Structure 1
Amino acid sequence: MTDTHDTNLPEKAVELEEDKKTAEVPEPATTETSAEETITEKVEEPAPKLTKEEILAKLKEISENVENSTKTEIDGLKQAFYKLHNAEQEGLKNQFIENGGAAEDFVPQADPVEEEFKNIMSVIKEKRNAANAELEKVKEMNLQIKLSIIEELKELVESPDDANKNYAEFKKLQQQWNETKPVPQMKENELWKNYQLYVEKFYDLLKLNNEFREYDFKKNLEIKLHLCEAAEKLADEPDVVSAFHQLQKLHQEFRDTGPVAKELRNEVWARFKAASTAVNRRHQQHFEALKEAEQNNLDQKTVICEIIEAFDYSELKNFAAWDSKTQEVIALQNKWKTIGFAPQKMNVKIFERFRKACDEFFQKKGEFFKTLKEEMNANLEKKRALCEKAEALKDSTDWKNTAEVLTKLQKEWKTIGPVAKKHSDAVWKRFIGACDYFFEQKNKATPSQRSVELENLEKKKAIIEKLEAINEQDDSKENVQQVRDLMKEWNNVGFVPFKEKDKIYKQYHSLIDKLFEAFNLSASNKKLSNFKSSINSIREGGTQTLYREREKLMRTFENMKNELQTYENNLGFLTASSKKGNSLLTEINRKVEKLKGDIELVKQKIKVLDESIQNEA
Structure 2
Amino acid sequence: MDLRDLAQDAEKMSSDAASTPESSVNEEVACGVTVELTGYSENAETTTGDVAGEAKEYTKETVIERLVTISESDGSEISRDEVSKLKQVFYNIRKNELLAEKQAFVDQGNEESAFAPMPDSMEQQMYELLNIIKNKKAQYIVRLESEREQNLQKKQAVIAELNSMAEDTDNVNRHYQRFRELSQEFKELGEVPPTAQTEIWRNYQLAVERFYDQLKVNKDLRDYDFKKNQEIKQLLIQEAEKLEDASDVVMAFRRLQELHDKWREAGPVAKELREEMWTRFKDVSAVVNKRYQAFFEERKAKESENEQSKTALCELIENIDLSSLSNHTAWEDATKIILKAQEDWKKLGFASKKVNNQLFARFRKACDEFFAAKAQHFRSLRETQSENLVKKTALCEKAEALKDSTDWKKTADEFVALQKQWKAIGAVDRKQSDAIWQRFQNAADYFFEQRKKNASLQRKSEQAALKVKQGIIEELKQLSLEATDRESSIARYRQLQSEWNKAGHVPFRDKERIYEAYRSEANRVFDALDMNRHKSGMANFVSGIEEMSDDKNRLFRERERIARALEQKRAEMKTYQNNLGFFNVKSSSGNSIMRDMERRMKRINDDVSSLEEKLRLIDSKIK
Q: Give the TM-score band, short-chain normalised.
A: 0.5 to 0.7
Change in 2 beyond 3 A, CA 1:306/1:211? same
Match of 2:256 in 1: 247
Per mean C-alpha deviation after superposition, the further-off stretch among 107-116 and 255-264 is 107-116
* Residue of structure 1 in register with 2:231 after alignment: 222
Displacement of 1:225 in angstroms is 1.6
Q: Which residue of 1 aligns with 2:242?
A: 233
Q: CA deviation at 1:273?
A: 0.6
Instruction: Please say if residues 150 and 194 of structure 1, whose CA atoms lie closer than 8 Å, have aligned partners that are also in contact.
Output: no
What letter is aligned with 2:370?
A: F
Partners in 1 of 2:319 and 2:144 — Cα distance?
55
* Unaligned residue ranges in structure 2 (runs of 5+): 1-12, 462-623
Establish whether residue 276 from structure 1 lines up as the match of residue 285 from structure 2.
Answer: yes
Per the alignment, residue 571 of structure 1 pairs with: none
Q: Does 1:300 align with 2:309?
A: yes
Alignment of 1:472-491 (within 5 A): none
Deviation, 1:124, is 11
Deviations 1:372-406 (A, max 9, x none): 44554554454344334323323323345434543
CA distance in 1, matches of 2:157, 2:405: 117
Aligned partner of 2:28 in structure 1 is: 31
Partner of 2:295: 286
Which structure 2 residues correspond to residues 437-456 of structure 1 after superposition, within 5 A?
437-439=446-448, 442=451, 448=457
**Distance in structure 1 (CA, Å) of the matches to 2:151 and 2:352:** 40
What is the aligned partner in structure 2 of residue 110 from structure 1? 120
Please give the alpha-carbon distance, in whole angstroms, between the structure 2 residues aligned to 1:437 and 1:336. Answer: 56
Distance 1:233 1:69, change over 3 A: farther
* Aligned match of 2:85: 77
1:272 is displaced (CA, Å) by 0.8
CA contact (8 A) 2:388 2:426 kept: yes
User: Partners in 2 of 1:131 and 1:350 — Cα distance?
Assistant: 25
Cross-structure match for 1:48: 46
Name whichever of 146-155 and 298-307 sits farther off. 146-155
Q: Distance in 2 between matches of 1:349 and 1:117?
A: 15
* 8 Å CA contact 1:217, 1:261 repeated in 2: yes
Provide the residue aligned with 2:271 in structure 1.
262
Residue 274 of structure 1 and its aligned partner are, at CA, apart by 0.5
Q: Quote the residue 2:404 is aligned against.
A: 395
Distance 1:377 1:113, change over 3 A: closer
**Alignment check: 8 A CA contact 1:384 1:427 kept:** yes
Deviation at 1:127, TM superposition (A): 10
Distance 1:81 1:337, change over 3 A: farther
- Tell me by how many angstroms 1:205 deviates: 4.0
State the secondary structure of the residue aligned to 2:404.
Answer: coil
Q: CA deviation at 1:270?
A: 0.7
Gaps of 5+ in 1: 1-15, 453-617
- Counterparts in 2 of 1:142 and 1:398: CA distance versus 1, 3 Å: closer
Q: Distance in 1 between matches of 2:405 and 2:348?
A: 69
- Give, in whole Å, the separation in 2 of the partners of 1:308 and 1:161: 78
Q: For residues 552-580 of structure 1, give each alpha carbon's deviation from its aligned partner in whole angstroms, at most 9, with x where no partner exists.
A: xxxxxxxxxxxxxxxxxxxxxxxxxxxxx
Q: Deviations over 1:304-352 (max 9, x none)?
A: 2333334355654322332232233223223323433222222233234
8 Å Cα contact 2:395/2:418 also seen in 1: yes
Taking a change above 3 Å as real, the CA distance of residues 323 and 449 of structure 1, as seen in their structure-2 partners, is: farther
Counting only pairs closer than 5 Å after superposition, residues 202-601 of structure 1 correspond to structure 2 as 202-208=211-217, 210-313=219-322, 316-366=325-375, 368-369=377-378, 372-373=381-382, 375-377=384-386, 379-410=388-419, 412-439=421-448, 442=451, 448=457
Whichever residue aligns with residue 311 of structure 2, its letter is T
Q: Which has the larger radius of gyration?
A: 2
Query: Which structure 2 residues correspond to residues 96-135 of structure 1 after superposition, within 5 A?
Result: 109-112=119-122, 115=125
191-200 or 213-222: bigger deviation: 191-200
Change (3 A) 1:393 1:255: closer
How much has 1:288 moved relative to structure 2?
1.6
Question: Structure 2: how far apart are the matches of 1:114 and 1:286?
Answer: 37
Is the Cα contact below 8 Å between 1:43 and 1:344 reproduced in 2? yes
Does structure 2 conserve the Cα–Cα contact (< 8 Å) formed by 1:149 and 1:173? no
Shift of 1:159: 9.7
Cα deviation, residue 256, structure 1: 3.7
What is the CA deviation profile of residues 407-463 of structure 1, one whole-angstrom value per residue up to 9, with x for unaligned ones?
4534553454322335434433443343344456556767849989xxxxxxxxxxx
Structure 1 216/154 Cα, relative in aligned 2: closer, same or farther at 3 Å? Answer: farther
In the TM superposition, what whole-angstrom CA distance separates every residue of 1:159-192 from its partner, at most 9, and x where no partner exists? Answer: 97995x999x799879967974745459967875
Contact 1:305 1:357 in 2 (8 A): yes
| Secondary structure, counterpart of 2:251 in structure 1 | helix
Q: Is the 8 A contact 2:17 2:208 kept in 1?
A: no
Q: Distance in 1 between matches of 2:319 and 2:268?
A: 68
Q: 1:445 to 1:81 in 2, by over 3 A?
A: same
Contact 2:22 2:282 in 1 (8 A): no
Distance 1:190 1:383 in 2: 86
Contact map agreement 1:23 1:258 (CA 8 A) in 2: no
Counting matched residue pairs gives 429
Asked if 2 retains the 8 angstrom alpha-carbon contact of 1:153 and 1:173, the reply is: no
* Distance in 1, Cα, partners of 2:419 & 2:204: 105
Give 1:142-181 correspondences, 5 Å limit. Answer: 180=188
CA contact under 8 A between 1:67 and 1:128: conserved in structure 2?
A: no
Q: How far is 1:249 from its partner?
A: 2.9
SS across alignment from 1:396: coil
CA distance in 2, matches of 1:396, 1:263: 122
User: Identity over aligned residues, as a percent?
Assistant: 36
Contact 1:146–1:177, Cα closer than 8 Å, also in 2: no
2:23 maps to amino acid: P
Q: Is the 8 A contact 1:26 1:254 kept in 2?
A: no
| Secondary structure of the corresponding residue to residue 85 of structure 2 | helix
Deviation string, structure 1 residues 202-257 (Cα, Å, up to 9, x no partner): 53344445433322322222222222122222223443233323322322332343
For 2:79 and 2:255, the matched residues in 1 are separated by 15
Say if 2:169 and 2:214, in contact at 8 Å, map to a contact too: no
Root-mean-square deviation over aligned CA pairs: 5.5
Could you tell me whether the CA contact under 8 Å between 1:308 and 1:358 is conserved in 2? yes
- Measure how far apart 1:282 and its partner are: 1.7
1:178, 1:228 → 2: CA distance? 27
Q: Which residue of 1 aligns with 2:535?
A: none
Q: 2:24 is aligned with what amino acid?
A: E
Structure 2 CA distance for aligned equivalents of residues 256 and 84 of structure 1: 46
What letter matches 1:351 in structure 2?
A: F
Aligned equivalents of 2:357, 2:136: Cα separation in 1: 26
C-alpha displacement of 1:283: 1.5
The 1:338–1:434 alpha-carbon spacing in structure 2 relative to 1, beyond 3 Å, is: same
Residue 277 of structure 1, CA deviation:
0.7
Q: Deviations over 1:39-89 (max 9, x none)?
A: 225545633322573688899699799989864x34643664576589789
Structure-2 separation of matches of 1:19 and 1:423: 86
The TM-score with structure 2 as length reference comes to 0.53
